[in-house]
Structure 1
Amino acid sequence: MSEDYPYFPTYGGALAHYAKHTPDQIALRFGDRVTDYKTYDRHATQIANGLMEMGLSKGDRVAYFGKNSDRSVELALGAARAGMVFIPIIWRLAPKEVEFILNDSGAGVLFVEPEFADQLPFDGKKVLTDDSFDVWRDAQSDAVVTVEVGAQDALLQLYTSGTTGLPKGVVLSHHNGTHLRPLTKEHNIYWYCPEPGDSLIFAMPYGHIAGVGTAISGVLGGLEVIVHREFDPALTIADVQKYKVKWLFIVPAALGIMLAHPDAETADFSSVKGLTYGASPIPLDMLKEGVARLKCDFAQLYGLTETFGTVISLPPDDHKPENIVGREHVMKSAGKPMPGVEVRIMDEDLNPLPAGQTGEVAIRSDCVMLGYWNRPEENEKALIGDGWFRTGDAGMVDEEGYLYIQDRIKDMIITGGENVYPAQVESALYGHPDIADIAVIGIPDEKWGEAVKAVIVAKPGSSLTEADVIAYAKDQIAGFKCPKSVDFIEALPRNPSGKILRRELRAPYWDGKERAVN
């Protein structure tokens, strides 16, 4: 492996490497605040020492609730250096959902942005991430942290909505995230291993692996990470031009919003070398518009929280219009496995299926999580031995090795890049006194890919309306999980064992579509 792309067992070790070799290189940029690598490294050490001064030790959980910022990124590296486990919580979650995560994780401290502080029930240590955070951090010792942190130690604990309605904490190690970079360089997967000093914009939500994973990946390659508080098309367009940004990661819905922005018409995107996207395939018309406007390489990334993000990629060559004439179907695939990743399609008995047959997608890779936090039964179902992980996605691998995602075995809905599980929405709505029965499904949506729809059986004599249901949902769960529309029917279709036949409910909306995901 190249000396320019060494393997770093830990994120703290990677940060120390670039602090030593490129100390004056810009590491983080957030508005007017600019942090170079030597300062970033010192701040991480001070945060680590500060956390230990609070009485926390290796393996303890450090939670953060807020939007993207340079402080939140430094906090992740400080926790990593102390051997602690960082838990960025999706800021759009409802207070009850956040309370569950804090209790389930046993977080020893919560760092929270001031605007959210009064909303969160937390009896433990709470630190605001306003200017007082800088005062606290800078008062800590910058003495070398002596905690021994290894590649297999836990780094992140990210909560995904559970199919039973309860979120699960996905525990990821340092090695899950660090091992892939030198392999991508070795195999010339240049769109996943920018050169040291390259700049990228981080604007995806921090509580997702695509958010925090992108943010902390900068230390693996000595990159300049330009932090946006949240996705803003005008700011993205402006910063690309102002800072000559080379790399963008975005979900297709956000790309569509950016391309439709008036500023995009005259913007200079010539600095952009590559754009990677995930969460859903990109519509062919949007791809053609994006390639024409940005004139850069496009690559699709497929992965899960449980795999530290990307395990499959559709490379730039398969996005170029001149290369896909007569084989446009490839654009509908997720791509091919990354180096060191194996894919298997399994039947219901977990037996391998041949090319061309649809079954459950399983992944074997060093990317696969350590496990779900305190969920032994879930681990037994998902981690099936010999390094294999069941994704819950239904897919097919063709003769060329391209993976096609056909449906979601776990019924998950992806709307605008956000994961929504029907059971969680159903559980929240069941409390309404006029709802007798309910099913939640995803239906096609031109803007967001999918939209959440509730199909409800109202109690006899009820005058329940769509507006009533949506208003009730907004008091219970995050806005992106709430139904955007409601249908009322007399009875839900069920199989003999009583399970709701969601595919039967979805069928009319997906009629004529090639896949049951959008």
Structure 2
Amino acid sequence: MNASAQIVVAGDTSVARQTLLDRGRRAATALDRIGVREDDSVALLVRNDPVYFEIFQAANALGAYVVPLNWHNTVDELDYILSDAAPRVLIGESDLIARARAAIEGRVPAFATGEGNAEPAAPAQPWSAFRDRHAPWSGAARAARGTMIYTSGTTGRPKGVCRGPMTPAQIQANARLLQSIYGTEPGMRALVCGPLYHASPGAFARQAFQHAALTVLQTTFDAEDLLRTIETHRISHLTMVPTMFVRLLRLPESVRCGYDMSSLRWATHTGAPCPPEVKQAMIDWWGPVIHETYGATETGPAVGCTSAEWLAHRGSVGQPMAGTTLRIYGEGARALGTGEVGEIYLRTQAYADFAYHGLPHERAQVERDGLITCGDVGYLDADGFLYICDRKRDMVISGGVNIYPAEIENVLVTCPGVRDCAVFGVPDAEFGEALVAAVEAEPGAPPTVDRMVAHLGERLARYKIPKVFEFHPSLPREASGKLLKRKVRQAYLDRLSAAAA
């Protein structure tokens, strides 16, 4: 570990890694004094901030879970997670704590981050002053628990995914797996531009904390600012989501060519399907540094693909990584063969077994023959490369034909004037289901419906072209890039019901 490396935040503000390690040891003692024990949880309500590493080190020392909270969540959503996780303590930024006061007050002791002893707003106490009153942790080492991340809840209430301690063999396998996924190497210069409360950006950031000479944390994404940051800090490694690729490629060519990307060595993307045309354009621009990974909070990253592999297997998300078992199942739990589309199940040996916090029977709903489903439908080719068709719940059956909206979205988002899109099925008296496209247009340059239909018709069969196109000011996405299609579809159905009333 390179203790002299810096964690850089907001350009000019930096904290040495050794400082964060020292704070983490004091934080462990402070948390122990307020009753944090093994298998307890510590809630963290912060943006992408160096305190993440401090609290992670402290919780690991105590054998406690870190519960990174989505700071975009509403008070009701935070209230649910805090009630479910029952953390011993919450540490967060003052303004976020103040906004969530109704969910926090009376439920959990809260501490506000920030230097100095300025008194934060109720119900929080100043964290740094409390932490620094304690000596560095000198207790016995306890088995690290890592994070307890709550799934996004697109099909219902979020569930906390927690794991037991890893065995020595799993620790070694996990290090090898993450190195192959994120390309980690000593002296790397890392950019974290996804939210730390999500699994992949958090895992990448923790790898960077161990290995990087420089780690830059960004809370918000702006396409040109990303290019500027890469050039300024000579970034070599980063993680992204496909929507970031789309926004980058929409920049004028003069802007894209105006920044030096030669320092890039490894860019991992995950979190959502990547349109093949978009990925091809990114490889053409940045070179063969684009890597893809597929998995879920429950499984961890388990499938990977280099640029060269993708170019030879266009549209694939890759092959199972070492130690991963992957099968495709059809109806009646029948294992499917090459090219047959079914539900994807997998398991990697590089992670300890998981459970849903407080829901001992829920795991059985996603498990088959010891493997776990991410809820996706796909197939394997003759070389063992995995292709994702869509989320199982998003598949549309129209006129007896299976249609995968993700395929349509991947084409529609490349239409000039389309900034973002969501395609979904709605009940239809004639065909069973019909396709609707919700479109977020580029500001000042909206596409016409005829243009979108023509764009799709040149690339897809006519039965895959939506019957209805709706324009939206914006479409809801998780900061991880995951489209909240359920919300878009429900809003459409609500409007239909109101119009018919």
In structure 2, do the counterparts of structure 1 residues 341 and 96 end up closer, same or farther at CA, with 3 Å as the change threshold?
same
Shift in CA distance, 407/285, structure 1 to aligned 2, threshold 3 Å: closer
**Mapped pair 1:154 → 2:159:** no
* Counterpart in the other structure of 1:245: 235
What are the superposed Cα offsets for residues 342-361 of structure 1, whole Å, 9 maximum, x if unpaired?
Answer: 10112333332222212221
Q: Secondary structure at the match of 1:241?
A: helix
SS at structure 2 position matched to 1:306: coil
2:303 is matched with which residue? 312
State the 1:257 CA deviation: 1.5
Q: What's the secondary structure of 2:77's corresponding residue?
A: helix
2:250 counterpart (260, 278, 282): 260
User: In structure 1, how many angstroms separate the alpha carbons of the residues matched to 2:241 and 2:67?
Assistant: 22
Letter in 1 for 2:270: G
CA distance 1:91–1:396, shift in 2 (3 Å)? same
Give me the whole-angstrom Cα distance separating, in 1, the residues matched to 2:210 and 2:299.
Answer: 18
Instruction: Check if 1:397 corresponds to 2:380.
Output: yes
Q: Which amino acid aligns with 2:66?
A: F
Residue of structure 1 equivalent to 2:113? 129
**Alpha-carbon distance in 2 for matches of 1:410, 1:139:** 52
Q: Which residue of 1 aligns with 2:492?
A: 486
Q: Deviations over 1:367-411 (max 9, x none)?
A: 3641111112211222445x4223222221111101111222244
Does residue 210 of the first structure (1) align with residue 200 of the second (2)?
yes
Check the 8 A contact 1:199/1:245 in 2, yes or no.
yes
Secondary structure of the residue that 1:332 maps to in structure 2? coil
Please say if residues 455 and 489 of structure 1, whose CA atoms lie closer than 8 Å, have aligned partners that are also in contact.
no
Q: CA 1:31 to 1:58, structure 2 compared with 1: closer, same or farther past 3 Å?
A: farther
SS at match of 1:270: coil
- Is 1:140 the equivalent of 2:134? yes
Deviation at 1:170, TM superposition (A): 0.9
Tell me how far 1:38 sits from its aligned partner: 2.6
C-alpha distance in structure 1 between counterparts of 2:113 and 2:327, whole Å = 44
CA distance in 2, matches of 1:238, 1:452: 33
Distance, in Å, in 1 between the alignment partners of 2:16 and 2:185 is 17
For residues 282 and 380 of structure 1, the distance between their equivalents in structure 2, rounded to whole angstroms, comes to 30
Provide the C-alpha distance between the structure 2 equivalents of 1:59 and 1:182, rounded to a whole number of angstroms. 23
Structure with the bigger RCO (C-alpha within 8 Å, sep 6+) is: 1
Q: Which residue of the other structure, out of 111, 114, 120, is the alignment partner of 2:94?
A: 114
Map of 1:183 onto structure 2: 176
> Is the contact made by 1:206 and 1:212 (CA closer than 8 Å) also made in structure 2?
yes
Per the alignment, residue 40 of structure 1 pairs with 20
Does residue 381 of structure 1 match 2:365? yes
Cα RMSD of the aligned pairs, angstroms, is 3.4
Q: Percent identity?
A: 23
Aligned to 1:165: 156
Give 1:143 shift.
3.6
Structure 2 CA distance for aligned equivalents of residues 61 and 412 of structure 1: 37
2:4 to 24, 27, 31: 24
Give the direction of change, closer, same or farther, for the CA distance of 1:87–1:49 in structure 2 (3 Å limit). same
Q: Secondary structure at the match of 1:206?
A: coil
| Contact 1:306–1:368 (CA under 8 A) maintained in structure 2 | no
The size of the alignment, in residue pairs, is: 412
In structure 2, how many angstroms separate the alpha carbons of the residues matched to 1:114 and 1:454? 42
In 2: Cα distance, 1:276 partner to 1:114 partner: 32
Partner of 2:355: 371
- Please report how far the alpha carbon of residue 256 of structure 1 lies from its aligned counterpart in structure 2 after TM superposition: 2.0
Quickly say closer, same or farther: Cα 1:286–1:356, change in 2 above 3 A.
Answer: closer
Q: Residue 200 of structure 1 aligns to a residue in which SS?
A: strand
> Is the 1:30–1:69 Cα contact (8 Å) retained in structure 2?
no
Partner of 2:422: 451
* Counterparts in 2 of 1:91 and 1:244: CA distance versus 1, 3 Å: same
CA contact (8 A) 2:187 2:212 kept: yes
Task: Go from structure 1 to structure 2 and tell me whether the alpha carbon gap of 1:98 and 1:452 turns closer, same or farther (over 3 Å shift).
Answer: farther
1:347 aligned residue: 330
Give the aligned partner of residue 277 of structure 1: 269
Instruction: Give the drift of 1:163.
Output: 6.2
In the alignment, is the contact (CA less than 8 A) between 2:182 and 2:204 conserved in 1? no
Deviation, structure 1 residue 174: 5.7
Question: 5 Å matches for 1:287-326?
Answer: 287-308=279-300, 310-320=301-311, 324=312
Letter in 1 for 2:321: M
Offset, 1:193: 3.0
Q: 1:273 Cα deviation (Å)?
A: 1.0
Structure 1: where are the runs of 5+ without partners? 1-17, 325-329, 414-440, 458-465, 492-518
Aligned to 1:512: none
Give me the whole-angstrom Cα distance separating, in 2, the residues matched to 1:158 and 1:36.
27
Using the size of structure 1 for normalisation, the TM-score is 0.71
Provide the C-alpha distance between the structure 2 equivalents of 1:157 and 1:246, rounded to a whole number of angstroms.
Answer: 29
* C-alpha contact (below 8 Å) 1:67/1:230 kept by paired residues: no
1:376 counterpart letter in structure 2? P
For the pair 1:331 / 2:314, whether they are aligned, the reply is: yes
Summarize the Cα distance change of 1:139–1:265 in structure 2 as closer, same or farther, 3 Å threshold. farther
Between 1:51-60 and 1:232-241, the stretch displaced more is 232-241
After alignment, is 131-140 or 354-363 more displaced? Answer: 131-140
Distance 1:93 1:219 in 2: 27
- The answer on whether the counterparts of 2:190 and 2:212 sit within 8 Å (CA) in structure 1 is no
Q: Is the 8 A contact 2:166 2:352 kept in 1?
A: no
Contact 1:272 1:296 in 2 (8 A): no
In 1, Cα distance between the equivalents of 2:95 and 2:136? 30
Q: TM-score, normalization: structure 2? A: 0.73
